[in-house]
Amino acid sequence: MSSSESPSQTTSDAARRERRRSNSLLLALAVGFLVFGAAAGALYYALRPDVLRVAVGPAGSDDAKVIEAMADAFASESRTTRLTLIKTAGAVEALAQLGAGKADLAVGRGDLEMPAEAQTVAVVRKNFVVLWAPSGLAGKGSKRKPSPKIKEVADLAGRRVGVIGRTPVNAALLRVILSASGVQADKVAVTHFGTDQIEELARDPALDAFMAVGPLDSKITSDAVAATARARGEPKFLAIETSEAIALRHPRYESEEIPPSVFNADPAWPGDKVETLSVSHLLVARKSLSETTVAAFFRQLFAVRQAIARQVPGATHITKPDLEKDTELPVHRGAAAVIDGNERTFLDRYGDYFWFGLLLLSGIGSAAAWLRRYLNRDEREDNTSHRKRILDMVSSARTAESNQELLALQREADTIIAETLGCYDDGAIEQEELAAFGLVLDLLSNAIAERRAALQRPGSETVRGVVAGQGAIGRG
């Protein structure tokens, strides 16, 4: 290497080294941003709460009040689940929202037409069928207790029944009861009354019997029984003796008993237990809703049930579905897993994601290594040319005629070594490439040492001088 080439070579090496450092910095920043973005995205996905849409109606109903209180409790106490209410005109419309995919959860009575993919998550409350007939008022001065004209369901043939609630499913349920009791449904007239028309129902002389469907502690049912007793005499409660047969044929219904004195203590209404049917109001979810989401909602629901009940007493009726009973509507796998204690663990749920993450990180590492090698391709080519240059220098060292030539070769080798070590420190070349460079460097060191020893042996200068003199005589 000549003195005139040294400054330009030094400038070129410095420029390459600066460019290499800049490329390495950019690569490190790119990988860092990629890893940070992936970690931030994974953390956000893992910690964000699930927002579930719940369809319920009508506004102001017991179901709507319970769901509103539930949404408030979830907002204040749950980190994993939030509820958004979709208010509808009634339970039929709420279930339609679920079937159309516009809601994740919905509240509806179990004997309504359910969407194809609806599955039970929880029982909001259980409604009991209460059938009763008036005994009539005692005449003035009469000590004889009036006897009811209707003593059983079979006696309703040709009669008129007042049904509390305008929903058509109550009338449909009455038809099921009549048919199972051997009464032709079209032989019984049905008149619907709103929940705000209890007094009109009690004073209507055309009615022979009454029907209510609701919880046993329902104020509407208790008020209706009391109102009809004042207007028409003591109630006679009608037992649905075919309740078990109905429940077998229609799994949406259950055979139940009304306990004595549930509507009044003195006198006792009823005086003894009465066989009847019940139908549940259900909180249902789409089958496609993930097991993890439903399980988290289910656990949180029963964790805050008492808090909900402090706002809405009816929330005390919320119960877990019975997995042992055969019902038309299956229990969602997320709720069933929590009830059975077979809920999947964290690793069961996210093990596949961990493996995918490891594969992704491996791919990112391989891509980063390839990118680094691509950005450092100039440095690797320089390292290869340096090895070739050192091999050429080995040949030059073995034929050097003076120590000055050997010293020049050594200085050039020092420059190459410094640049190569700088590339290694910057990560431009690998350990294997540095090892290959060391091999050729050992060859050069040995060649210089051997040639220097040969030049220092006695007679070497004399021989060289004789050879030089002979050359001068020949030229003369």
Does the pLDDT at position 472 exceed 70?
Answer: no
- pLDDT tens-place string over residues 112-140: 999 999 999 999 999 999 999 999 886 66
Element holding 404 (H helix, E strand): helix 403-425
- pLDDT tens-place string over residues 363-403: 877 777 676 666 666 666 667 777 788 888 888 888 888 88
What integer pLDDT is reported at residue 25 of this predicted model?
67
pLDDT grade, residue 442 (50/70/90)? confident
Average pLDDT of the segment spanning 254-261: 96
Average pLDDT of the segment spanning 203-225: 95
pLDDT grade, residue 475 (50/70/90)? very low
Does the pLDDT at position 234 exceed 90?
Answer: yes
Distance separating alpha carbons of residues 179 and 184, to the nearest angstrom: 6
**CA nearest 385: which of 422, 435, 440?**
440
- pLDDT tens-place string over residues 335-351: 999 999 877 655 556 56
DSSP state letters, 90-127: SHHHHHHHHHTTS-SEEEEETTSPPPTTEEEEEEEEEE
What integer pLDDT is reported at residue 14 of this predicted model?
58
Does the pLDDT at position 318 exceed 80?
Answer: yes
What integer pLDDT is reported at residue 230 of this predicted model?
94
pLDDT grade, residue 469 (50/70/90)? very low
SS3 call for 449: helix
- pLDDT tens-place string over residues 410-433: 888 888 888 777 777 666 677 777
The number of angstroms, rounded, from the C-alpha of 32 to the middle of its chain's C-alpha atoms is 28
* Residues, the chain: 476
pLDDT grade, residue 1 (50/70/90)? very low
Average pLDDT of the segment spanning 440-451: 85
Structure token digits, residue 340: 């059975």
Sequence-ordered alpha helix ranges (H) in 204-271: 219-232, 243-249
Average pLDDT of the segment spanning 35-57: 75
Does the pLDDT at position 223 exceed 90?
Answer: yes
CATH 3.30.365.10 for domain 124-283: no
Q: What are phi and psi of 234, to 5 degrees?
A: -60, 140
pLDDT grade, residue 193 (50/70/90)? very high
Does the pLDDT at position 465 exceed 50?
Answer: no
SS3 call for 140: coil
- pLDDT tens-place string over residues 100-119: 999 999 999 999 999 999 99
Sequence-ordered alpha helix ranges (H) in 233-376: 243-249, 291-303, 305-311, 333-340, 346-375
pLDDT grade, residue 4 (50/70/90)? very low
What integer pLDDT is reported at residue 264 of this predicted model?
94
The 3-class SS string of 257-285 reads EECCCCCECCCCECCCCEEEEEEEEEEEE
Average pLDDT, the chain: 84
What integer pLDDT is reported at residue 451 of this predicted model?
84
Strand pairing partners for 133? 236
pTM of the model as a whole: 0.67
Distance separating alpha carbons of residues 202 and 211, to the nearest angstrom: 12
